[in-house]
Structure 1
Amino acid sequence: MKIQPIIASLALMAGVYTSPSAAQQPLNFTVKAGEVKTTVSPGMWGIFFEDINFSADGGIYAELVKNRSFEFSSPLMGWTIPEGAVSNGQIMVVNRKDDNSSNPRFAKITLPAARPFTLVNEGFRGMGIKAGEQYHFSLYARQQPGSAVKFTVTLLDDAGKTIGTTTVSLDSNNWQLYKTGLTAAATAAKGKLQLTFTGTGVIDVDMISLFPQHTWKERSNGLRADLVQLLADLRPGFLRFPGGCIVEGRELVNRYQWKKTVGDVNEREVIINRWNNEFAHRAAPDYFQSFGLGFFEYFLLAEDIGASPLPILNCGMACQFNSAEVVAINELDPYIQDALDLIEFANGDVNTKWGALRAKMGHPAAFNLKMMGVGNEQWGPQYVERYTLFAKAIKNKYPEIRLVNSLGPGPSGDKFNFLNDTLRKLHADILDEHYYSSPEWFLSNASRYDSYDRKGPKIFAGEYAAHGKGTDGYHKNSWQSALTEAAFMTGLERNADVVEMASYAPLLAHVDGWQWAPDLIWFDNLRSYGTPNYYVQKLYANNKGTVVVPILKDNQVISGQDSVYASTVVDEQSGELVIKLVNASATAKPVAVAVEGVKGLAANGRLTILRSNDLQAINTLDKPLGISPEEKNIAIKGKTVRTEIAPWSFYVVRAKINK
């Protein structure tokens, strides 16, 4: 461990600002702009999505109705029904598993004469309803012969007051999809949906759904527009999905099976979310996966935001922290076939089985899948045995597909060392390293990849976040955590010849339903905001450049000396030099960056600053831009960039290179 990062971390923990001496000499850095060290992967900075913290249902998936098809373990969870209605048989949940194994349940409602029946759905910690927004309601229903039933759809505000209503009459004895629209007259942060059935007879209902008109790209069964926009603004190079531990499941029976998440949304099998009861102190018994957001929607999302898709598949192993269940090797073939079929689904001709399904779902063009993950955070010889069989089958049929491979749950130790040594000998394509550690760890490891083998597998920094605790004991998205991540990321960028991809994790969290913190983006039913960590990621991804060039102090890389961290790239497309500087100390640092290997620099550049005087400061729903980038011009004389890096700050300088 280096001395300087320790000093920097002590300054971080002290949280004391020290003004610079008027006579303080600048730190002299040199950029060798003519010495290209390596290219930067187009997918260098990406995003990792996992359905944790109500990220999918109740989050980015815009469906407002919870338990819309009565498939939760408690079939009426999320629904409020009249007292005594169940016991007297006025509502029954019918299981037709033999007829429809993927969506077996529906509700049967009996209406005695002149007695209306009301169902109320609470949504996901309430429903976010916006004044003036149109909402699309739908349900499948049938009425028994001789019945005469209609129903009223009502939007309720937080106090139970009506803020929108419409009525639908039923006209069929067979299952039929009914749709209607209604406009909200007021805004509600925790609204509800009420259905009132009137008339006489018996009605069956299923797949009760409510979506806002305004989804991402106005798609039906769509995604929440504000959350997707935050992702798009990151300009991610890749989208890793669907996790994470979701891929593994607590046991194999509730692992993620991609084939059950495509095709007709009404036929996608609901399962329990593995984060339902993982953390006793943050239990979420109503956390299930409807898979309205399935593999097709993930591929579509990646395409929408310009990211390469990176699906991760189960390799025949459940979570080793939970059950450690594995499928027998002689029964692994279906798992491997799932991987081969997924490639066909993504890239196959429309005349193939799975390519035809993709086309039927509305996307005849291929999704251009180039890489795939085998397992999530597996470890041990049992993983190597299964990975080897996957790799052989995939490479034999699709040699162009690159595979991402697990190095276990942490960045060091016996589990990591075994897989790192073994998979390198097997000439693996990409090794996935994960690190959830203290802010001090991130400072101390900014040089982690400086000495990695340049001829070995590429590295995917697949999950990382600095975990600094707040006063309540929970990890917080503090400026301290974001700043140390920014410092660490200079080392990732500097070593782009080894580190090909990187993504913060987790991505999304509902403020009323989270299980894990910190997270990159937080939201409630109406609002969302990017954390300081989000803006660090955004500044790196939006200033990615195309090639890495050295930035040095005393002919050494800048990685903690004087508590400063730095990396430099050239954007050959815009003709700009991009300098990233991090000051992890409580003292301002004047710097002079001399640029060699160019004829000159434009007289005016752009400076973006991300900083705070309070290391424990965070953004909130009420103050979403408390810590956010500030842009200004910076004057440049000759070929030297001069500035003073404020305490606890991250600077990005863009300067045009004179031809």
Structure 2
Amino acid sequence: MKSDSVKCAGLATSIALATCLTSVLAGGNSSTERNSSTVPVSLTVAREGGNESSPLLYGVMFEVMITNLTKIFQGDGGIHGQVLQNNGFQGTSLGLTAYAPVGDVNIFQDTSKPVSKAITSSLNVEVPDGVTNYVGFANTGYNGIPVTGATYNCSFWMMGNYSGTINLQLVGSHSGSVYADHNLTVKSTDSKFTEFKTRFNTTYTPKGDNEWHLTFDGSKVAGSSLNFGLIQLFPPTFKGRENGLRDDIATFLDEVNPAFLRFPGGNNIEGLQVDSRWKWNTTIGPVVERPGRESDWFYPNTDALGLDEYLWWCEDMNMAPLLAVWSGKSYGDILSGPDLEPFVEDTMNEMEYLFGDPSTHYGKLRAQNGRKDPWKVDLIEIGNEDDLTGGCETYPDRFNQLYKAIHDKYPHITIIASHGNYSCLPSPLPKDVIIDLHLYRAPDDFVKLFDQFDNQPRNQSVMVGEFGCRNTTAERGVSWPYMQGSCSEAVYMIGMERNSDIVKMATYAPLIQHFGFDNWTPTLYGFDSAPDSITPTVSYFVQKMFASNKGDTILPVHSSTGFGPVYWVASKTGSQYYLKLANYGPEQQTVKVSIPGTKTGKLEMLAGPKYQGDTPYNVQIQTVTTSIFNGQGNYSISMDPWAVAVLAVS
């Protein structure tokens, strides 16, 4: 066992040193050994000293993903606002998924009549002779369509000889109830596709099993056919953005107060093959010019949520963008050296698109796409998990190729390496490069990592690019976050925040899931096609509490005992003080807190039984906020087992 002086070595001016010495002097054990005593824990928060905390500490990571070949739908069918599934027939696996005939018609995917060079097929609606009523087709969305009572935007492309009325409806799939009924007059020819746009009002329904119908006067088409392509239906979008995010799902995320967004993944950027990687230049411009692609998980991404949409998302939520660029590694092949150079050039074209003056080729393209001013992007990650799937040996050279190209032209950008395995990193690693750690752990294992960063070199910055407590045990199955797991995440985050002079960023992952499809655990929150279905998890509340209550300086804390089962970190901004607490244990704990000079504030508390959490449509555990006043700056906090709390006073 190390001596006490060695245990605290290497922390220098870090607050970790002050807390470590406090624990040692109090006779405490190491941070992963828990004190089972229920004697009150006394904490005195110093008003001065400590170390600077990263302003970007808590963010979110977005990944278009599935697990076990089953979709989660985080982008298409998720936070992206367009609610019709398979609307452009992109990819190779969906066929007529989500489509159905309405009336006496035959429908099929028609590759002979592409809508554009990118959208390479359309829906042919064939009308038999003798039809006299309105006929057409339906789209059932992603296990239904939300009908919120708001005004919806709709568009579609059409080819074929038809002049007259198109009827659009939103209809209950089982009830037959009509929640929207709208007519528009169109004139279409068989020489080319024409786009039609309209808006219509809806009537609210709490049910999600609804479908969208497009019908037309069959008597005018009998014995012939019409083609329709790239149909789009948008409920209200976040900040009213065209081709934007679904407002209710995005607003729920905005309330977490994330400081940055890591995008577009994750594995999403890599590709099953080199040619199916995420290509920035096929995700920009009009949606009709975006081909989409078969994703890494064998279902198509439309890429309607593209590079600019991610960046507008960041701007609208006041998040710093963290953009990943392709590093040469796909699941099918890995390119390095001269073979990587054309892709380095492609990355530099992407940089010009982000930062270039409108007089440059790609800067002009950005302006044409609606953004005249350069995008503000200060964080670039090179690849994703390049220490895995065969990427280790070549990553040092691949990293250096991309690093040099980007850093030489844009020295203001902070570069992030895609992992923290030093055997797969350049040696030496260029100054100011951040390493990216990904951790999915069982609860006790997260708590064991509480002091992971206490003795790390203070000159090596870290991002925890993915983390979350997973429960996949046979007796409990794949389940949503529960209090023990979310409490362990809080313990780990307290450890990160204590060391947020070097831990610059952290992202819980994955972000969201659609209830209608098998899920990965964990996620922050979920939803389905019912408009009031959004359900937070207990981990959502932990992330919201931590991200919304963080100072810019981490403060020393003098304690009467060592860490465990109670864990803590204190910070301040100006005269506002924050103390985060977690009780990772089965017994109630009393914490006596002294923050001299403070008088009033609030206490936020999240607590519940060890294996209980919030489940779809059923929020049983949520944050409880209590106002607090004490003229002497002394506070007594009673923490239930498996509880997380934040004291914010001034």
Match of 2:490 in 1: 486
Matches within 5 A, 1:210-359: 210-212=233-235, 214-276=236-298, 287-319=299-331, 323=332, 325-359=333-367
Determine the C-alpha separation between the residues in 2 that align with 1:155 and 1:494.
52
Structure 2 residue corresponding to 1:161, chosen from 176, 185, 192: 176
Task: State the one-letter code of the partner of 1:77.
Answer: T
Determine the C-alpha separation between the residues in 2 that align with 1:566 and 1:539.
14
The answer to whether residue 424 in structure 2 is matched with residue 429 in structure 1 is no
Determine the C-alpha separation between the residues in 1 that align with 2:97 and 2:33.
53
Match of 1:642 in 2: 636
The answer to whether residue 517 in structure 2 is matched with residue 513 in structure 1 is yes
* CA contact 2:282–2:292 (8 Å) conserved in 1: no
User: Structure 1 residues 343, 92: closer, same or farther in 2, change over 3 A?
Assistant: closer
Aligned-residue RMSD, C-alpha? 2.5
* CA contact 1:240–1:309 (8 Å) conserved in 2: yes
Instruction: Tell which deviates more after alignment, 638-647 or 541-550.
Output: 638-647
Match of 1:631 in 2: 625
Structure 2 residue corresponding to 1:50, chosen from 55, 63, 67: 63
SS of structure 1 residue aligned to 2:444: helix
Determine the C-alpha separation between the residues in 1 that align with 2:80 and 2:429.
42
Over residues 97-149 of structure 1, what are the superposed CA-to-partner deviations in whole Å (9 max), with x where a residue is unaligned?
A: 7x94322212343434442543121211111123x3222221111324xx556
User: Structure 1 residues 85, 423: closer, same or farther in 2, change over 3 A?
Assistant: farther
Aligned residues between the structures: 600
SS of structure 1 residue aligned to 2:365: helix
* CA contact 1:270–1:290 (8 Å) conserved in 2: yes
Match of 2:423 in 1: 418
Determine the C-alpha separation between the residues in 2 that align with 1:635 and 1:169.
65
The answer to whether residue 121 in structure 2 is matched with residue 105 in structure 1 is yes
Q: Normalization by structure 1: what TM-score?
A: 0.85
Instruction: Tell which deviates more after alignment, 399-408 or 296-305.
Output: 399-408
Determine the C-alpha separation between the residues in 1 that align with 2:166 and 2:104.
21
Determine the C-alpha separation between the residues in 2 that align with 1:368 and 1:220.
20
Match of 2:466 in 1: 463
Match of 1:124 in 2: 142
SS of structure 1 residue aligned to 2:78: coil
* CA contact 1:94–1:108 (8 Å) conserved in 2: no
The answer to whether residue 64 in structure 2 is matched with residue 64 in structure 1 is no
The answer to whether residue 597 in structure 2 is matched with residue 601 in structure 1 is yes
Instruction: Tell which deviates more after alignment, 329-338 or 220-229.
Output: 329-338
Determine the C-alpha separation between the residues in 1 that align with 2:58 and 2:428.
24
Match of 2:4 in 1: none
SS of structure 1 residue aligned to 2:628: strand
Structure 2 residue corresponding to 1:152, chosen from 141, 150, 167: 167
User: Percent identity, aligned pairs only?
Assistant: 26
Task: State the one-letter code of the partner of 1:181.
Answer: R
Q: CA deviation at 1:182?
A: 3.0
Q: CA deviation at 1:229?
A: 0.9
Determine the C-alpha separation between the residues in 1 that align with 2:412 and 2:599.
46
* CA contact 1:85–1:91 (8 Å) conserved in 2: no
User: Structure 1 residues 354, 29: closer, same or farther in 2, change over 3 A?
Assistant: same
User: Structure 1 residues 636, 360: closer, same or farther in 2, change over 3 A?
Assistant: same
The answer to whether residue 555 in structure 2 is matched with residue 540 in structure 1 is no
Task: State the one-letter code of the partner of 1:528.
Answer: I
Task: State the one-letter code of the partner of 1:480.
Answer: Q
Determine the C-alpha separation between the residues in 1 that align with 2:550 and 2:360.
38
Over residues 19-58 of structure 1, what are the superposed CA-to-partner deviations in whole Å (9 max), with x where a residue is unaligned?
A: x9xxx642222322211x2212221111111112100111
Match of 2:377 in 1: 369
Structure 2 residue corresponding to 1:567, chosen from 546, 566, 569: 569
SS of structure 2 residue aligned to 1:81: strand
Gaps (5+ residues) in structure 1?
Answer: 12-19, 277-286, 409-415
User: Structure 1 residues 196, 335: closer, same or farther in 2, change over 3 A?
Assistant: same
Q: CA deviation at 1:468?
A: 2.5
Instruction: Tell which deviates more after alignment, 109-118 or 239-248.
Output: 109-118
Q: Normalization by structure 2: what TM-score?
A: 0.87
Determine the C-alpha separation between the residues in 1 that align with 2:563 and 2:272.
40
SS of structure 1 residue aligned to 2:76: coil
SS of structure 2 residue aligned to 1:129: coil
User: Structure 1 residues 424, 507: closer, same or farther in 2, change over 3 A?
Assistant: farther
Task: State the one-letter code of the partner of 1:567.
Answer: V
Over residues 610-659 of structure 1, what are the superposed CA-to-partner deviations in whole Å (9 max), with x where a residue is unaligned?
A: 111x11111134333x2221111234353443333332211211221xxx
Task: State the one-letter code of the partner of 2:614.
Answer: N
Structure 2 residue corresponding to 1:391, chosen from 371, 387, 403: 403
Task: State the one-letter code of the partner of 1:438.
Answer: A
* CA contact 1:6–1:440 (8 Å) conserved in 2: no
Match of 2:23 in 1: none
